[in-house]
Amino acid sequence: MHSDTPTPPRPLILGSTSPYRRELLQRLRLPFTCVAPQVDETPRTGEAPVALAQRLARAKAQDVARHHPDAIVIGSDQVAELDGQPLGKPGTHERAVAQLRAMSGRTVVFHTALAVVCHATGYAADDLASVEVRFRPLTDAEIERYLRAEAPYDCAGSAKSEGLGIALLDAIVSDDPTALVGLPLIRTARLLRAAGVTLP
C-alpha cells in the first residue's frame, strides 16, 4: 500500500561531551542529542598532529554510530600544533603558563577534524579545517592575568578565542570561522547535507 507519510528524519547525534561543540551545533537549529564516545585519545608514537585529529574524529563518530546505527553521527577532534608537536589541553595552571610562554610571538595551527557517519545508509565522510593563529608577544604578567581571568584549562592551546583570549592574538587565518572554537560549521553543514539532512 502506498503511503504519503514522509519518512521521519534520522536522529542526529553529536559524538561529544564538549559544551563548546554542543553550543556551536545548536546554531544550525537541528534537533540533536549528545553521546560520549568511548575512545582512547592517546597519540600514537610519531603521529603527526593533523593525523591524530583526523583519526580521533573518525573513531569518535564510528564508536557512537556502532551503538546508534540508524542515527547520523558527528565526531570531531581538535589538536593544536606548534613546531610539529601536538599541544594538548593544559589541565593545570602551570601547564597553561608553559603553553602560552611557548606560543608567545609564534604561529600555532589548530587542526579541527570532522567526521559524519551513518551505519544504516553506509554514509561516512570526513573533512579538516586548519586554522593559523598568530599570538602576539606576551609578558608573564599578561599570561598570568589572562589565565586568572578565564581559566581555559580545558582548551587545547590554553586560550579561548571566543572570549578574552582574543586579546592575546595578532591574527586568525581561517576559511571556517567556528573551527577554532571546536566545530567547523561550514564543513559540518556540507557533510550533513551530503548525509541527507535538510538544512536552510
pLDDT in tens, the chain (200 residues): 555 566 778 999 999 999 999 999 999 999 999 999 999 999 999 999 999 999 999 999 999 999 999 999 999 999 999 999 998 889 999 999 999 999 999 999 999 999 999 999 999 999 999 999 999 999 999 999 999 999 999 888 899 888 999 999 999 999 999 999 999 999 999 999 999 999 98
pTM of the full structure? 0.89
Q: Is residue 124 included in any domain, yes or no? A: yes
Q: Is residue 200 part of a domain?
A: no
Active-site pick, 4, 63, 70, 77? 77
The CA angle 107-93-133, to the nearest 5 degrees, is 15
Residue 120: strand pairing partners: none
Query: Is the residue at 5 inside a domain?
Result: no
Question: Number of structural domains, the chain?
Answer: 1
- 175 flagged as catalytic: no
In terms of Cβ atoms closer than 10 Å to its own Cβ (0-12, 13-18, 19+), residue 103 is buried
* Kind plus residue range of the DSSP H or E element containing 101: helix 93-103
Q: The CATH number of the domain where 154 resides is what?
A: 3.90.950.10
